A and B are shown apart, each in its own frame.
Chain A
């Protein structure tokens, strides 16, 4: 199979302008079958605008977009039947019960999942007969996810799915998503939790200021240089930090030159979070200089 037909999502030069200001400014990426792709970025970076254009909710200003081979600017019901959409949280009154809501939504789709099995997959079997309004925020979010997967989607959109979850609920949610990945579901995830992206996704794209500033496998984001260990210590002249691929040798040299234990010595291997914060911070500085 060629890589062409493997692409579930293709985005090429996507632009979106609001009131003369670009919110998304020339973003390109692809997502292949079965992959989980994370879009990372600070609030207002253009993540949600991008995902809502792919979902068919927003019109784009320019660029080429194909989702499951269809232009989301011209959505059809048959196309929507293959998508699962978990929006950022909504405020519906919630007078129906969990089971009623899922049973009802299952009717919209040609090939839905089993309702009871889906309720159990999101861990709400005990709450199946409870009205949505009576659920906690985390439980309602799980209903959102259940509604997103009830149609057996080929492509699942998760827009900041675990905002407001406690750590335990987040881990359970990750297990649920891993299960969907094993079933072959392609997933596009936006999040500002870096650990979530690291846990769930194969590849990530980082958006800041409407630009895609990096894209790649999760452990290569920011490039090799961004992951070079940092040796940090303090002396009477202040704080020092040195980036080096040989932190052990640096520490040994430091100890012999000081003739003593360096105060507040740290050896840091930058994780995704550090790399990400550096990248986003650099974009901010750049923007401030430009402004």
Chain B
């Protein structure tokens, strides 16, 4: 059996075990959807968000939809894999796999495949609920969906690799959640997922600009917000070129770190 085919079987196995683990289903899979529901309900009376006073705007739910999609990508990749792999290291899963002829390449294909599959289902679910439950209008322009597709794919693969890289950090499975979740949460607050990015102080925007989530959220806003909202962005531009560049750089960093730090077991611990 070659590495790719085995990677496919791993992905299938990983997806099944993902949906059988209630904590990941809640904190990773359903979390952005729940947050979208809370935002929509909590601010339903707050009025629309507008670019300039007096102009027609969009509902709070519609404004935060792109941020939740970006957060979903980050959670499915970084949070899910960093916690999952750290747990697999400490509970013996990786030790067992390391004693079989399974190639680490197949293992990684399985993990990325899991993130990809669950991430797509999650995004579809968010879009369907946004459209039919919260009544948020979705774009009809195919060009925008094309932008959505490349940002989603690049974002999810980058998030997966960063999750694998980050899994080397926690010293035990138990501490994994405590190390990873605050990191991911802070990133969501400064990157325009839960708070309007254009209203954050400049220094916070600058810090967020180092990390990939800010760029994914910005890309998703370019897909789902009306064109005139571009004037709320820094530099009055969606900066699609920068988004691609930053995600590719983080993709490379994730790949190199994963390659250098991944071990089936911590030898001599």
| Pair A57/B92 contact, Cβ less than 8 Å | no
For B95, the chain A residues whose CB sits under 8 A away are 57, 87, 90
Alpha-carbon distance between A85 and B265 when the two chains are bound, in angstroms: 15
* Closest B residue by C-beta to A133: B20
If A57-B95, A57-B265 are given as contacts, then 7 extra A-B residue pairs at C-beta distance below 8 Å, sorted by A number, are: A77-B103, A90-B95, A93-B91, A96-B13, A96-B17, A100-B16, A104-B13
Main secondary structure of the interface of A (DSSP, over half): loop
For B88, the chain A residues whose CB sits under 8 A away are 92
Alpha-carbon distance between A92 and B20 when the two chains are bound, in angstroms: 13
Q: Is B93 an interface residue (CB 8 A)?
A: yes
Q: Which of A105-113, A170-178, A260-268, A282-290 contacts B (4 or more CB under 8 A)?
A: A105-113
Assess A107 versus B268: contact at CB under 8 Å? Given A57-B95, A91-B91.
no
- A residues neighboring B (CB under 8 Å): 18, 55-59, 77-78, 80-81, 83, 85, 87, 90-93, 95-96, 100, 104-105, 107-110, 147, 151
Residue-wise interface mask of B (1-25) relative to A, using a CB-CB cutoff of 8 A (1 in contact, 0 not)? 1000010010001001100110000
Alpha-carbon distance between A93 and B83 when the two chains are bound, in angstroms: 14
Alpha-carbon distance between A91 and B87 when the two chains are bound, in angstroms: 10
Alpha-carbon distance between A96 and B17 when the two chains are bound, in angstroms: 7
In angstroms, how far is the closest chain A Cβ from the Cβ of B266?
10
* Closest A residue by C-beta to B265: A57
Q: Is B101 an interface residue (CB 8 A)?
A: yes
- In-complex Cβ contact of B17 among A57, A90, A95 (8 A): A95
For chain B, give the interface size range: 20 to 34
Q: Is B102 an interface residue (CB 8 A)?
A: yes
Alpha-carbon distance between A59 and B1 when the two chains are bound, in angstroms: 29
* Closest B residue by C-beta to A95: B20
Alpha-carbon distance between A80 and B106 when the two chains are bound, in angstroms: 15
| Pair A80/B99 contact, Cβ less than 8 Å | yes
For A85, the chain B residues whose CB sits under 8 A away are 96, 99-100
| Pair B16/A96 contact, Cβ less than 8 Å | yes
Q: List 5 tightest A-B contacts by C-beta distance, closest first.
A: A90-B92, A85-B99, A95-B20, A81-B101, A77-B101
For B91, the chain A residues whose CB sits under 8 A away are 90-93
In angstroms, how far is the closest chain A Cβ from the Cβ of B108?
15
Alpha-carbon distance between A151 and B13 when the two chains are bound, in angstroms: 18
| Pair A57/B98 contact, Cβ less than 8 Å | yes
| Pair A18/B268 contact, Cβ less than 8 Å | yes
For A96, the chain B residues whose CB sits under 8 A away are 13, 16-17, 20
Alpha-carbon distance between A83 and B101 when the two chains are bound, in angstroms: 9
- B residues neighboring A (CB under 8 Å): 1, 6, 9, 13, 16-17, 20-21, 88, 91-93, 95-96, 98-103, 265, 267-268
In angstroms, how far is the closest chain B Cβ from the Cβ of A76?
9
In angstroms, how far is the closest chain A Cβ from the Cβ of B99?
4
Alpha-carbon distance between A105 and B13 when the two chains are bound, in angstroms: 10
* Closest B residue by C-beta to A107: B9
For A83, the chain B residues whose CB sits under 8 A away are 99
Alpha-carbon distance between A151 and B17 when the two chains are bound, in angstroms: 23
For B16, the chain A residues whose CB sits under 8 A away are 95-96, 100
For B267, the chain A residues whose CB sits under 8 A away are 57-59
A-B contact pairs, 17 of them (CB 8 A): A55-B99, A56-B99, A58-B268, A59-B267, A78-B101, A83-B99, A87-B95, A87-B99, A90-B95, A92-B88, A92-B93, A93-B17, A96-B13, A96-B20, A104-B13, A107-B1, A108-B1
In angstroms, how far is the closest chain A Cβ from the Cβ of B14?
10
| Pair B103/A107 contact, Cβ less than 8 Å | no
In angstroms, how far is the closest chain A Cβ from the Cβ of B6?
6
Alpha-carbon distance between A151 and B101 when the two chains are bound, in angstroms: 9
Alpha-carbon distance between A48 and B9 when the two chains are bound, in angstroms: 32
For B92, the chain A residues whose CB sits under 8 A away are 87, 90-92
| Pair A93/B102 contact, Cβ less than 8 Å | no
For A87, the chain B residues whose CB sits under 8 A away are 92, 95-96, 99
For A18, the chain B residues whose CB sits under 8 A away are 268
Alpha-carbon distance between A95 and B122 when the two chains are bound, in angstroms: 21
Alpha-carbon distance between A57 and B269 when the two chains are bound, in angstroms: 11
In angstroms, how far is the closest chain A Cβ from the Cβ of B259?
17
For B102, the chain A residues whose CB sits under 8 A away are 77, 108
For A108, the chain B residues whose CB sits under 8 A away are 1, 6, 100-102
For B96, the chain A residues whose CB sits under 8 A away are 85, 87, 90, 92, 147
Alpha-carbon distance between A58 and B16 when the two chains are bound, in angstroms: 32
